[in-house]
Amino acid sequence: MLGITLLAGIALLAIFFGPRLIGDQQEQGGIAAFYDASEVQVEGAPGSVARIEPLVGHPFDAKAWRVMYRTVDVHGTPQLATGVIVTPLGSAPDTGRTVLAWGHPTTGAAAECAPSRGFDPFIGIEGLRFLLDRGYTVVATDYVGMGVAGPDSYLIGDTAGNSMLDAVRAAQSVEEADASGRVILWGHSQGGQAALFAAERAPDYAPELHIEAVAVAAPAADLSALISDHVDDVSGATIGSYAFQAYAEVYADRGARLDTVLTPAAQQILPEMNQLCLLTHLTELHDIAEPVVGNFFAADPTQVEPWATLLKENSAGSHAFDAPLFVAQGAKDQLVLPTATEQFVEHEKSLGMPVSSHVIREADHGSIAYLSLPALMSWLDELSL
């Protein structure tokens, strides 16, 4: 009986994952060509598709595409972004499918760290199977500067928010995706910041989209608190290597010079750190960062300008948005600390927003999005989305 059960399980796994894995392998061969934008027109309507290709290695009972689309950065400059679109098979509602835009957590800053370039571009979309089963079309941006060449956008709130909203627009132009203007935003960590900025920006940046709900897990909502909580540890050096390099590039016109906030030793490791992806090179990143722990910051970035202002500008919560908010936090999270998320939740409530807050006792930073899925799906179901 056990043998039959095991064989049945293996058969089901083969049905669900076999074609996906085979397709993923086939697609890796020429994947770099898709991200070569040397002959792509950058200027164009935000959300317009610059390049698209169907994916063979897609989730079961779904169809999917890799997409390059146009967006706009914090300065209003046209940029390109990449990502994936996936939609369930079967008939869509007459009004189209609700679109869920996913914001991924930190994977790195280099182009090669983009989730859509990975062997399985869907594996990191937390809750994807549940979302497809509910009939959503799911879009997942890589953010600007990842996947396709562009300016670094790590923790640049406006740029990240725009890239999420424009991914929805890109999906709307794909007829088979059946994408409507109804949108759910869902993000984890860095992606939580992106989702919150997308919600705050949507009325002005993408007024044709209706944000139905926003969900975040351990969001990088208050960057001043995040940096302060990790001034003297390896997480601060790792996050700081990504973030301060990005800010120095993006806000150079505002005097964001690295030598005003980082030590010479910290500046020396930045090029190497920024070429490594978090998920595949975590040990190596920590090995490089460890020697400068305690000697990374030359000054407190929350106290010295222009860094203090830039961190505040890129922190979520500047104003309310017209959608219910779901916030999940792991009690064992040592990166985005529970106290920081609690303070953010109270701040959002003070703006008059309806907030559903969930603290998961056994969750840490890596597991919070997955462990909060039952509560998130129940919340979405109650909202009839």
Q: Do residues 345 and 302 both lie within one domain?
A: no
Q: Do residues 89 and 228 both lie within one domain?
A: no
- pLDDT of 329 reads 98
Q: Do residues 73 and 211 both lie within one domain?
A: yes
- pLDDT of 19 reads 54
Q: How far apart are CA 292 and CA 287, in angstroms?
A: 10
Confidence tier at 4 by pLDDT (50, 70, 90): low
Q: Do residues 56 and 85 both lie within one domain?
A: yes
Q: Is 1 a domain residue? A: no
Taking CA atoms, 305 is separated from 238, 257, 311, 316, in Å, by: 21, 10, 10, 19
CATH number at residue 347: 3.40.50.1820
The number of distinct structural domains making up the chain is 2
Q: Do residues 61 and 150 both lie within one domain?
A: yes
Q: Is 377 a domain residue? A: yes
Q: How far apart are CA 181 and CA 209, in angstroms?
A: 5
Query: Mean pLDDT over all residues of the chain?
Result: 93
Q: What is the DSSP letter of 321?
A: -
Q: Is 253 a domain residue? A: yes
Give the global pTM: 0.92
Q: Print burial letters for 236-263: b (CB count within 10 Å at least 16), e (below 16).
A: bbbbbbbbbbbbbbbbeeeebebeebbb
Q: Is 321 a domain residue? A: yes
For the ranges 24-33, 196-205, 213-222, 292-301, the lowest mean pLDDT is seen at: 24-33
Q: Do residues 100 and 175 both lie within one domain?
A: yes
Q: Assess contact for 284 and 234: CB atoms under 8 A.
A: no
Please say which residue of 261, 295, 312 terminates a domain.
Answer: 312
Half-sphere exposure of 49 (CA within 13 A, CB side): 17
Q: Do residues 306 and 353 both lie within one domain?
A: no
- Decide the pairing of beta strands 325-330 and 210-217: parallel
Q: Do residues 263 and 278 both lie within one domain?
A: yes
- pLDDT of 15 reads 53
Of 208, 162, 154, 204, the residue nearest 185 (C-alpha): 162
Q: What is the CA radius of gyration of the chain?
A: 20
User: 234-250 and 282-289 helices cross at what angle (nearest 10)?
Assistant: 90
For the ranges 26-30, 152-156, 325-329, 333-337, the lowest mean pLDDT is seen at: 26-30
- pLDDT of 26 reads 47
Confidence tier at 127 by pLDDT (50, 70, 90): very high
Q: Assess contact for 22 and 57: CB atoms under 8 A.
A: yes
Please say which residue of 312, 331, 361 terminates a domain.
Answer: 312
For the record, the structure tokens of 175 come out as 């007829």
Question: Containing domain of residue 103, as a range?
Answer: 11-36+43-222+315-382
Q: Do residues 122 and 267 both lie within one domain?
A: no
For the record, the structure tokens of 286 come out as 């920590």
- pLDDT of 44 reads 96
pLDDT at 14 over 60: no
pLDDT at 368 over 50: yes
Please say which residue of 312, 347, 363 terminates a domain.
Answer: 312
Q: Do residues 267 and 212 both lie within one domain?
A: no
Q: Do residues 79 and 148 both lie within one domain?
A: yes
For the ranges 7-16, 43-52, 215-224, the lowest mean pLDDT is seen at: 7-16
Q: Do residues 152 and 142 both lie within one domain?
A: yes
Q: Is 177 a domain residue? A: yes
Q: Assess contact for 163 and 109: CB atoms under 8 A.
A: no
Confidence tier at 279 by pLDDT (50, 70, 90): confident
Q: How far apart are CA 112 and CA 126, in angstroms?
A: 20
Q: What is the DSSP letter of 151?
A: -
For the ranges 1-15, 33-47, 121-135, the lowest mean pLDDT is seen at: 1-15
Confidence tier at 13 by pLDDT (50, 70, 90): very low
Q: How far apart are CA 45 and CA 37, in angstroms?
A: 17
Q: Is 2 a domain residue? A: no
Q: Is 4 a domain residue? A: no
Percent helix / strand / coil, the chain, rounded to 5: 40, 20, 40
- Better-scored residue on pLDDT, 347 or 15: 347
Q: Is 24 a domain residue? A: yes
pLDDT at 338 over 60: yes
